[in-house]
Structure 1
Amino acid sequence: MSNIFDINGCCMLNLTEVGAAVQARRNALGLSQARLAHLSGLSRQTISGLESGTLQDLGFNRVAQILNILGLDTPVPAAHARSQKDGLWMAAKTASVSYKHELDAATLANTLVTGEVPRKYIAHIAHLLDEAPIPLLVMAVEGAAEQEHVAPRSIWRNVARLAKNLGLSRQRVLS
């Protein structure tokens, strides 16, 4: 077991514990190891090693990056803080910043679940998928999945398809 950090002399986490939390949260969000690797800028082998407990060392910044994307807190990874936020509402507001018509959370959820974009919101969705912080996209997918009772994995497939169809620069990251 490899300890990764000591916070104020009180809390040590090891990569095995972090890996188990990452795997559970990744599965709950319907993310594959490959997709999490793309979103975090790490290799799939790094994610796999972290989750399986075979990784001997991973820097704090990389661990924090993965935890941030998944909405897990440190020092003890938990999604409690993320559950207090309305990711769909935040994502809809982010997507609407520069546009006359405001994208509402229900329309965003429907778009993510169906993969169908209402014509007047194409620019909003393109902006959201191409420009919004990755943790915000993860929150939006999680919120849509919970609200519409759909598996997050199917929403991620729609996100990848939307990114490709809209010709977004992030399409490789989101696929």
Structure 2
Amino acid sequence: MENLGELIKLLRKERKMSQQDLAKQYGMSRSTISGIENNTISEIGLRKVEAILNGFGYELTAVPRRSTRPTLDTLKKVNFHG
């Protein structure tokens, strides 16, 4: 979520909006917007984040992570020990 907060802050500033403006537009408190942007809020509903991103012309998506370490199956396929 850290990157989402940074993105939301960047998009808000590009549009010359205050945190209060954004909060009012989406029925949130300014402290909630601040928490999202600074990654200090303990829990935030995905619908709230999605609504903000949609308002800026973005969509929230999920993509599978790439493993940084090979799996055992991968190592077997490349004949790691042979």
- Structure exhibiting the larger radius of gyration computed from Cα positions: 2
SS of 2:16 mapped into structure 1 = coil
Structure 1 residue corresponding to 2:45, chosen from 39, 52, 59: 59
**Could you tell me which residue of structure 1 aligns to residue 29 of structure 2?**
43
Amino acid at match of 2:48: R
Distance across 1 between alignment mates of 2:58 and 2:15: 12
Aligned length: 62
Q: Bigger relative contact order, structure 1 or 2, given CA contacts below 8 A and separation 6+? A: 2
Instruction: Write 1 or 2 for the structure with the bigger share of helix.
Output: 1
Q: Percent identity?
A: 34
Amino acid at match of 1:61: R
Tell me how far 1:73 sits from its aligned partner: 1.8
Verify the 8 A CA contact 1:40 1:69 in the aligned structure 2: no
For the pair 1:69 / 2:55, whether they are aligned, the reply is yes
Which 4+ residue blocks in structure 1 deviate beyond 3 angstroms?
none
Q: Return 5+ residue gaps in structure 1 as ranges.
A: 1-14, 77-175
Q: Return 5+ residue gaps in structure 2 as ranges.
A: 63-82
Tell me how far 1:72 sits from its aligned partner: 1.9
Amino acid at match of 1:62: K
Instruction: Write 1 or 2 for the structure with the bigger share of strand.
Output: 1
How do 1:9-20 and structure 2 match up within 5 A? 15-20=1-6
| TM-score, normalised relative to structure 2 | 0.69
